[in-house]
Amino acid sequence: MNARRPFRRKGEETRRAALIEAALACIAEGGPQAATVRAIALRAGVTQGLIRHYFATKEDLIAAAHDHLMTGLTEASAASLGALPADPRARLEGFVANAVSPPVVDPRAMALWAASMQLVARDPAMREVHERTYRAFRDQLEALIADALQTTGRPADPATTRRLAIAGNALLDGLWLEASALPEQLPPEEARAIAIDAFESLLGLELKE
């Protein structure tokens, strides 16, 4: 029995992930109101009872879908940082560039984010997920900013790096929204250049070699 448990757990995780993907597909096509238990079950090819086996309520499933979306965007922003030079400024530049480039910049992801925002203001579970995933991104950005500032010998006290991370996150959010909504108006190479230039001005240091 014990030898089979990892395989059972993997199967359960796969089914749970499939339900989350089905929920995201429904939201992308028709907004949160389209993500009914019946529609999600049809999309995933399962019974409604199976959904209730993994999620106590539809709201729990929608919150899990939002968590999956936002966590994925943060992970994509941090992708390949380990392959960059040890220079903290190069790592910050890579993170900033990734945050405004595909696959982070994506019309579907932006539409899903906009749909989820309708629920964040009135659903405590969605608010908790959004706050946690926002903080995860901002904390990673803040750590990268602190490391970059230390290369110049400038003090990087927590209050300063927090404010810089909040401002930097706002810059990236704005460019991400514009590039995702109107990719023909803001191609990836231009979005990256604008983001890096803005961070250099914000931090008062050069990121580019």
CA distance 112 to 181: 12
* CATH number of the CATH domain containing 45: 1.10.10
Pair 23, 65: CB distance under 8 Å: yes
What does pTM read for this prediction?
0.87
pLDDT band with cut points at 50, 70 and 90 for residue 7:
very low
Asked if 5 and 105 sit in the same domain, the reply is: no
The predicted-structure confidence for 51-92, as pLDDT tens digits, reads as follows 999 999 999 999 999 999 999 999 999 987 777 777 899 999
CA distance 202 to 102: 24
pLDDT band with cut points at 50, 70 and 90 for residue 156:
confident
pLDDT band with cut points at 50, 70 and 90 for residue 209:
low
Helices 5-30 and 107-120, axial angle in degrees (round to 10): 90
Residue 8, classed as helix, strand or coil, is helix
Asked if 168 and 135 sit in the same domain, the reply is: yes
Residue 208 belongs to a domain: no
Asked if 139 and 185 sit in the same domain, the reply is: yes
The predicted-structure confidence for 131-141, as pLDDT tens digits, reads as follows 999 999 999 99
* CATH number of the CATH domain containing 192: 1.10.357.10
CA distance 113 to 66: 8
